[in-house]
Chain A
């Protein structure tokens, strides 16, 4: 490992250690996933009383939600920390040091995902089994996990972009709310996109959101399973797009700092 790579691995490791230490946060997310799955299991049961309007059963839909919630609850909410660093001016200290802030962010994101993922995933899996009395086949799960990981990175990337907007906006929290709700709705957090009216589905597919949630989660629900090749391509494309946007924003921000002095 070259010193340059080791640098970023270290960033990742620190972030991972930090995530591991924050038991309350981990526990809270695990509890939340359990509760939401419980609520939705109930919901789908109630819906099933009239017949579920897509070719999927209650169990499959609960696993679908377990998958999307796993992705959403694992992706770190980077915008909070980035905004804080920008407001407090700490970010200018980073600029004087020999590392790339965006790359460090990526490393930290991966570190946090690698810690949170297993915990939240375990909670989601156990609840899924308890609520549905079964589990998706190991092949399906094996195919799902790497896509989920990519999706988490993409969601994280979105949060990073939102965080970087703090250079120009007085408060990025409202932007985050809207982005999050769009993610939930157009990404199909609770309901597979196949339930949506056609025009909404077409609209959704113009955005990165389905690739973040509905796409990967759909791998666990045979009836809504997307084309894996297309999903892989979509994820790759959107990750590149988000990365470029983040990089551009950061460079623009640095230039602004250098001109007006932070």
Chain B
């Protein structure tokens, strides 16, 4: 199918652009890796002195980091344009995409990539390996869960960064909502009570990004798997719908150029 060929070509071009500055690519990937590992040290310090946190041990935290980092890294590498979507909308960068015969959203997402995503993915895999939850047996399940998690991440990212269609300049808010999702996704679920947990499975879907996959890996069940996959599908579908509705209201950066 032509769209699939296009997506592949887009990804290849994107990768080539990212690699065009070879040195910067390596540094970004490497530094992100170190960044994630360093942050994990805090948990290591704490969990040396405390046996567990409501049933969660260091290995479980490592698994959480692993899922979040890998799926986030995947989104940044393959669909890195999501973080830039808000600015693209506000400054009329969607113009060129809209005049070409391919889905504008796909194009916008695949137009950018950041080497830090590779660093995230590598650190994520390392964390998963450290956690003991990644075995030959569990590997296929881990892959599926990471894909579902990444899809959810991408979906909510698209929604957050599409807010400018309706609300104008919201770059800060969009970024903060996105950061919040990541932040919450890196803390164990048992820390959060009822109301908050509801929020974390809806507006700020850290629940679908990491809690469900984590639950699946600690205690597999088909219900949980269906929920994780279903959640991912819903998020992506909603995101596409939101974006397409937003395009109808697109005003093409007339903020800058006086209309005319």
A55 to B100 CA separation, bound complex (whole angstroms): 65
Task: Select which of A46, A171, A175, A197 is within 8 A of B45 by beta carbon.
Answer: A197
A189 to B41 CA separation, bound complex (whole angstroms): 12
Hey, which chain A residues are within 8 Å of B50, CB to CB? 47, 50, 53
Q: Does A101 contact B (CB under 8 A)?
A: no
Hey, which chain A residues are within 8 Å of B183, CB to CB? 35-36, 39
Closest CB of chain B to A213's CB: distance in Å? 12
Best-buried of A53, A185, A189 by chain B (most CB within 10 Å): A185
Q: Does B172 contact A (CB under 8 A)?
A: yes
Task: Select which of B24, B38, B191 is within 8 A of A43 by beta carbon.
Answer: B191
B191 contacts A24, C-beta separation under 8 Å: no
Q: Does B6 contact A (CB under 8 A)?
A: no
Q: A28-B176, A184-B42, A200-B45 known; A171 and B51 CB under 8 Å? A: no
Residues 186-243 of A at the B interface (beta carbon under 8 Å): 189-191, 195-197, 200
Closest CB of chain A to B206's CB: distance in Å? 11
Hey, which chain B residues are within 8 Å of A184, CB to CB? 38-39, 42
Residues 163-199 of A at the B interface (beta carbon under 8 Å): 170-171, 173-175, 177-178, 181-182, 184-185, 189-191, 195-197
Name which of B27-35, B64-72, B90-98, B237-245 contacts chain A.
B27-35
Q: Does B116 contact A (CB under 8 A)?
A: yes
Hey, which chain B residues are within 8 Å of A24, CB to CB? 170, 172-173
A173 to B184 CA separation, bound complex (whole angstroms): 23
Closest CB of chain A to B49's CB: distance in Å? 4
A38 to B187 CA separation, bound complex (whole angstroms): 12
A39 contacts B187, C-beta separation under 8 Å: yes
- Taking residues whose C-beta sits less than 8 angstroms from the other chain, chain A's interface range is 35 or more
A185 contacts B41, C-beta separation under 8 Å: yes
Hey, which chain A residues are within 8 Å of B184, CB to CB? 39
Task: Select which of B27, B28, B42, B176 is within 8 A of A190 by beta carbon.
Answer: B42
Q: Does B23 contact A (CB under 8 A)?
A: yes
The residue on A at minimum CB distance from B116 is A174
Residues 181-204 of B at the A interface (beta carbon under 8 Å): 183-184, 187, 190-193, 196
- Taking residues whose C-beta sits less than 8 angstroms from the other chain, chain B's interface range is 35 or more
- Proximity string of chain A (1-35) to chain B, C-beta cutoff 8 Å, 1 when within and 0 when not: 00000000000000000000010110010011001
B28 contacts A196, C-beta separation under 8 Å: no
Q: Does B54 contact A (CB under 8 A)?
A: yes
Closest CB of chain A to B38's CB: distance in Å? 4
Q: A174-B28, A174-B31, A174-B116 known; A195 and B45 CB under 8 Å? A: yes
Hey, which chain A residues are within 8 Å of B23, CB to CB? 170
Hey, which chain B residues are within 8 Å of A43, CB to CB? 53, 187, 191
Task: Select which of A39, A171, A190, A191 is within 8 A of B191 by beta carbon.
Answer: A39
Closest CB of chain B to A42's CB: distance in Å? 4
Hey, which chain A residues are within 8 Å of B39, CB to CB? 181, 184-185
B176 contacts A177, C-beta separation under 8 Å: no
Q: A24-B173, A46-B191 known; A195 and B49 CB under 8 Å? A: yes
Task: Select which of A28, A35, A170, A174 is within 8 A of B172 by beta carbon.
Answer: A28
Residues 34-78 of A at the B interface (beta carbon under 8 Å): 35-36, 38-39, 42-43, 46-47, 49-50, 53
Hey, which chain B residues are within 8 Å of A35, CB to CB? 180, 183
Q: Does B139 contact A (CB under 8 A)?
A: no
A53 to B50 CA separation, bound complex (whole angstroms): 7
Q: Does B46 contact A (CB under 8 A)?
A: yes
The residue on A at minimum CB distance from B190 is A46
B45 contacts A178, C-beta separation under 8 Å: no
Hey, which chain A residues are within 8 Å of B21, CB to CB? 170
A139 to B23 CA separation, bound complex (whole angstroms): 52
Task: Select which of A53, A177, A195 is within 8 A of B31 by beta carbon.
Answer: A177
Closest CB of chain B to A184's CB: distance in Å? 7
Residues in B lying within 8 Å of A, measured CB to CB: 21, 23-24, 27-28, 30-32, 34-35, 38-39, 41-42, 45-46, 48-54, 116, 170, 172-173, 176, 179-180, 183-184, 187, 190-193, 196
A/B interface sample: 15 pairs, CB < 8 A: A24-B170, A35-B183, A39-B183, A39-B191, A42-B192, A43-B187, A46-B54, A46-B190, A47-B50, A50-B51, A53-B50, A171-B24, A184-B42, A189-B42, A195-B46
Query: Which 7 pairs across A and B sit closest by C-beta, in order of nearness?
Result: A174-B31, A53-B49, A181-B38, A24-B172, A42-B191, A177-B35, A28-B176
* Besides A39-B191, A46-B190, A50-B50, 13 new A-B residue pairs in contact (Cβ under 8 A), listed by A number: A22-B172, A35-B183, A39-B192, A49-B54, A170-B23, A171-B24, A174-B32, A177-B32, A182-B38, A184-B38, A191-B42, A195-B49, A197-B45
